[in-house]
A and B are shown apart, each in its own frame.
Chain A
């Protein structure tokens, strides 16, 4: 496959043609925050709105997971506009996320904590109101626990469950602030079509899917 040359934060990067800026940057050791991206996924879900970058000659910031690299491209990942967008996306996520890290099984391995660390954000919703849900935790499955309250709706587990494993046990349901990841009819995971492959657990960026 042919390669293209570009710079990300002034660092020269050599990436495969067709690759998105996000993966080119991550491969080069430059961190761009992301929750919903999966490398193997052909059409990115692009729902977390965290992976913003600015490209020289392009008016508006772009999501790096949906923008392919081009020869001679100049990408910046930490401009004031990018930082502002990332902060807003992050605060919106936190406004809907119970921050109880000390008691969370994902403590220190949580992607939200990582973003907070890299960008020196507090785990606080900032200008937004905290809107927590009080949904029941599903521990009916022998292998893992689903806590929908911590879910950031990145859709990674849904994609794996449906497109890769084809178990089709998990999907999005409801809408807006009520959106959840659930089984058909909202029945307990233990009674669902789950084939216990546990792929969903391995891709969850936060503490929503935790092994038992």
Chain B
């Protein structure tokens, strides 16, 4: 997205809000709903709009786990670390994702293929440990229950194969 477009979209969101400080978190949520993350430009604009320091906006935004600062990748992976998943070794699963994708929780791979996020209980504790795999382009979400590190490999492999297949079809069409 071009910078001017981004700014325009941000001011559009700001316009519908009041200027009181209490609007800070709702605004951040609105921005994240729109962009899938909080761009630095948005924090600057929110600060100006509400008449508070940009650092304060950054401080509040980073305090909450719900906000992310990198754009989500094509496949957005949410690893549950709620109580049940935690007990069932959710952190081992998170580590497996981190190691395989070579990024940390909250980050995105350089090619924008995958992003990683930790979440609290996603509501299917019987399947713990749970990961959710979201296709941000097609807007589809798959729940992966009773995760194991080997399953992480499996999921990534299937994506790889899928990509290859698509490339092949594309090649044939051309």
Question: A104 contacts the other chain (Cβ, under 8 Å)?
Answer: no
Residue in chain B with minimal CB distance to A192: B55
Question: B159 contacts the other chain (Cβ, under 8 Å)?
Answer: no
Given contacts A184-B58, A185-B40, A185-B43, contact A171 B63 (CB under 8 A): no
> What is the minimal beta-carbon distance from A3 to any residue of chain B, in angstroms?
39
Residue in chain B with minimal CB distance to A175: B63
Bound-state Cα–Cα, A169 to B47, Å: 13
Which residues of chain A come closer than 8 Å to B47, judged between CB atoms?
A: 184
Indicate if the CB atoms of A184 and B53 lie closer than 8 Å. Answer: yes
Which residues of chain A come closer than 8 Å to B62, judged between CB atoms?
A: 173-175
Question: B59 contacts the other chain (Cβ, under 8 Å)?
Answer: yes
Category for how many chain A residues contact B: 10 to 19
Complex partner residue of A171 from B40, B44, B59, CB under 8 angstroms: B59
Which residues of chain B come closer than 8 Å to A168, judged between CB atoms?
A: 53-56
Residue in chain A with minimal CB distance to B61: A173
> What is the minimal beta-carbon distance from B99 to any residue of chain A, in angstroms?
19
Indicate if the CB atoms of A174 and B63 lie closer than 8 Å. Answer: yes
Which residues of chain A come closer than 8 Å to B53, judged between CB atoms?
A: 162, 168, 171, 184, 193
A164-188, CB < 8 A from B: 168-175, 182-186
Q: Hey, what's the 0/1 contact readout for B72-84 against A, CB within 8 Å counting as 1? A: 0000000000000
Which residues of chain A come closer than 8 Å to B64, judged between CB atoms?
A: 175
Indicate if the CB atoms of B63 and A184 lie closer than 8 Å. Answer: no
Indicate if the CB atoms of B43 and A171 lie closer than 8 Å. Answer: no
Which residues of chain B come closer than 8 Å to A185, judged between CB atoms?
A: 40, 43, 54, 58
Q: Hey, what's the 0/1 contact readout for B23-53 against A, CB within 8 Å counting as 1? A: 0000000000000000010011001000001
Residue in chain A with minimal CB distance to B54: A184
Which residues of chain B come closer than 8 Å to A170, judged between CB atoms?
A: 55
Query: Could you say which of B40, B53, B56, B64 has the most chain A C-beta atoms within 10 Å of its C-beta?
Result: B53
> What is the minimal beta-carbon distance from A19 to any residue of chain B, in angstroms?
30
Indicate if the CB atoms of A173 and B59 lie closer than 8 Å. Answer: yes
Residue in chain A with minimal CB distance to B65: A175
Question: B57 contacts the other chain (Cβ, under 8 Å)?
Answer: yes
6 closest cross-chain pairs (CB), A and B: A168-B53, A171-B55, A184-B54, A184-B55, A173-B62, A171-B59
9 A-B pairs with C-beta separation under 8 A? A162-B56, A168-B53, A168-B54, A175-B63, A183-B55, A184-B47, A184-B57, A185-B54, A185-B58
Q: A168-B55, A171-B53, A171-B58 are in contact. List 9 more A-B contacts (CB 8 A).
A: A169-B55, A171-B59, A173-B59, A173-B62, A175-B64, A183-B55, A184-B53, A185-B43, A193-B53
